[in-house]
Chain A
Amino acid sequence: MGGTVWREHGGRPDVIVVGGGVVGCSIAYRLAADGRRVLLLERRGLAAGASGRNGGMTGGGSSLHAASSVGRAVAALTAANLALLRAVPDELGAEIELRLPGTLDVISTPEQHAHLAAAVASQREGGGGIVLLDRDEARAVMPALSPAILGAAFAADRGHLWPFALVHAFAAAARRHGAELRIGSAAERLLRAGDRVVGVVAGGERIAADEVVLATNAYTPALLPELPPGAIVPARGQILVTRPLPPLLTVPFGTNFDKEYGRQTPDGRILCGGYRRLDAGEGLGATAERVSPPVLAGIARCLTGLFPALAGRARVARAWAGIMGFTADGLPLLGPYGPAPGLTLAAGFNGNGFSWAAAAGRAVADLLAGRDPGLDLAPFRPDRFAAGGAAWRNPYTAGEGVGERGAA
């Protein structure tokens, strides 16, 4: 493994990346591969945040932003990400269990049908590989689906991966390129010289750098209190996982506007998450990584409802909670933070970090190197929200009520 030679020689980092989730590790890798001296600070452990507690679905994240320049920018980010994920085994020599059999967005109500029919029509205009299936066609793709469903939207180029493995692949690659990953080290605050950000304070130590990148997802407002209220809000998600079962879920699924989702891992476990709206008024704004019985019951009902064959066979092995960073408009904050030169944000990845993080890492490296990232990043500008409050129109919380968002 390459050493952090720059540090042994008393040098200072060029870039400090705060946060050791998939986003921070992806960024650290690309920057280090560019020859930058990178110091990554992670206060808990690699993948200890959302990146180690998620569903592992990838390739989605665009169907709720269809048919607009924003939708195209999200689709381009997602496509760039997928290309980078496909390259990971060769590029990084890591097995991330990437499987891309496509996904089914299962339709159980007429309302979901109307929404998906419109989304499919508008995405097809943009060339997206999505088709609407009737019940029998959907059950031909995934025979375990209940005959009570109304249909499904099949999306190609989507699937799932092993989230830990991706985070660790990026982290190991960053280290090989000389980055120092300091685990157990919390950035307490940004170091400033006038407007400019010139480093961070961590463990009482002032660490200077040319650039600081915050990949702190839900926790970003603590380091950047001037972010308008509501720009990034913590959102608790919960997942349960069964003991391994024979192959039943041929493709990962989503349902109910993607609020519920699940997949079967290559070793047979079925994972399912969702039902944040049953989190007793706590889902949005909550930062405690605690499961709640109504949510787990909802998730269990989702599984037994969609897949009747699971009743009597599936046994729940574990359940957990994780904290996502939801944003006012459902889009990440990605790019230089205008009001504070020297500061770049890569935060607020909503429920889609694994559809965007690899591309975000490359985009940040491109931006800091003055290269054209080849992506339309305008919709993701981190300073897009007006001071004084960000109007909440996050599509992933549609129908959940603004009052629940828990933001000041």
Chain B
Amino acid sequence: MSDRSDARPPRQVCRCEEIGDDEIRGAVAAGARGVNDVKRATRAGMGACQGIYCVPAIAALVAAETGLPMERIAPMTARPPARLLPLERLAEPDAPS
């Protein structure tokens, strides 16, 4: 995706989805301006941790690549449920939301 010629090997930013910083830089080069944009382009932050570990790192990368201040980097939308829920538990009539 990115055509940067850095010799450095990519660093894994999102462990759940195995997305490296190279892919995130590529997404920014392709127009991503926030954590949600990066997520849509790469799946980073969509894994089991739901972004708890990687979102700050993604936001920092976007800020570094774009020169935008951190507070301008739109945060990621939380997607319920935040904890893994057994499917059959959700199917119960009084299931938690």
Interface residues of A (CB under 8 A from B): 45-48, 52, 164, 168, 171-172, 175, 181, 183-184, 240, 242-243, 291-293, 296-297, 300-301, 303-304, 310-320
Asked if B91 and A301 sit within 8 Å, CB to CB, the answer is yes
CA distance A252 to B51 in the complex (A): 28
Chain B 41-52: CB-based contact to A (< 8 A → 1; otherwise 0): 101001110100
Asked if A320 and B79 sit within 8 Å, CB to CB, the answer is yes
Asked if A300 and B30 sit within 8 Å, CB to CB, the answer is no
Asked if B80 and A291 sit within 8 Å, CB to CB, the answer is yes
Asked if B85 and A315 sit within 8 Å, CB to CB, the answer is yes
Residue of B nearest to A296 (CB): B90
Asked if A317 and B32 sit within 8 Å, CB to CB, the answer is no
Q: How far is the CB of A57 from chain B (nearest CB, A)?
A: 19
Q: List 15 A-B contacts (CB under 8 A).
A: A46-B40, A164-B41, A240-B90, A242-B87, A291-B80, A293-B96, A297-B92, A300-B90, A300-B91, A304-B88, A304-B91, A314-B87, A315-B86, A319-B80, A319-B81
Given A318-B46, A319-B79, CB of A168 within 8 Å of CB of B30: yes
B34 CB contact (under 8 Å) in A45, A297, A313: A45
Asked if B86 and A312 sit within 8 Å, CB to CB, the answer is yes
CA distance A300 to B97 in the complex (A): 12
* Given A52-B40, A297-B90, 15 extra CB contacts under 8 A: A45-B40, A168-B41, A240-B90, A296-B95, A297-B92, A303-B91, A312-B86, A315-B86, A316-B81, A316-B85, A317-B47, A318-B46, A318-B80, A318-B81, A320-B79
Q: How far is the CB of B18 from chain A (nearest CB, A)?
A: 10
Residue of B nearest to A312 (CB): B88
Residues of A contacting B30 in the complex (Cβ-Cβ under 8 angstroms): 168, 171-172, 175
CA distance A357 to B91 in the complex (A): 34
Residues of B contacting A172 in the complex (Cβ-Cβ under 8 angstroms): 30
Interface residues of B (CB under 8 A from A): 30-34, 36-37, 40-41, 43, 46-48, 50, 77, 79-81, 84-88, 90-93, 95-97
Asked if A318 and B79 sit within 8 Å, CB to CB, the answer is yes
Given A312-B86, A316-B84, CB of A297 within 8 Å of CB of B91: yes
Asked if A48 and B40 sit within 8 Å, CB to CB, the answer is yes
CA distance A231 to B47 in the complex (A): 38
Residues of B contacting A240 in the complex (Cβ-Cβ under 8 angstroms): 90
Q: Is the interface of B mostly helix, strand, loop or mixed?
A: loop
Asked if A181 and B87 sit within 8 Å, CB to CB, the answer is no
Q: How far is the CB of A312 from chain B (nearest CB, A)?
A: 7
Q: How far is the CB of B55 from chain A (nearest CB, A)?
A: 14
Asked if A317 and B84 sit within 8 Å, CB to CB, the answer is yes
Residue of B nearest to A291 (CB): B80
Asked if B97 and A303 sit within 8 Å, CB to CB, the answer is no
Q: How far is the CB of A141 from chain B (nearest CB, A)?
A: 22
Q: How far is the CB of A46 from chain B (nearest CB, A)?
A: 7
Q: How far is the CB of B17 from chain A (nearest CB, A)?
A: 9
Q: How far is the CB of B84 from chain A (nearest CB, A)?
A: 4
Residues of A contacting B77 in the complex (Cβ-Cβ under 8 angstroms): 320
CA distance A52 to B39 in the complex (A): 10
CA distance A172 to B32 in the complex (A): 12
CA distance A311 to B37 in the complex (A): 34
Asked if B31 and A171 sit within 8 Å, CB to CB, the answer is yes
Asked if B36 and A45 sit within 8 Å, CB to CB, the answer is yes
Residues of A contacting B84 in the complex (Cβ-Cβ under 8 angstroms): 243, 315-317
Residue of B nearest to A162 (CB): B43
Asked if B40 and A316 sit within 8 Å, CB to CB, the answer is no
Asked if B50 and A184 sit within 8 Å, CB to CB, the answer is no
Asked if A46 and B91 sit within 8 Å, CB to CB, the answer is no
Residues of B contacting A320 in the complex (Cβ-Cβ under 8 angstroms): 77, 79
Give 10 nearest A-B pairs by CB, closest first. Answer: A300-B91, A293-B97, A300-B90, A314-B87, A318-B79, A315-B84, A311-B88, A301-B91, A45-B37, A316-B85
CA distance A296 to B80 in the complex (A): 11
Q: How far is the CB of A152 from chain B (nearest CB, A)?
A: 22
Residues of B contacting A304 in the complex (Cβ-Cβ under 8 angstroms): 87-88, 91
CA distance A63 to B90 in the complex (A): 31
A183 CB contact (under 8 Å) in B31, B43, B86, B88: B31
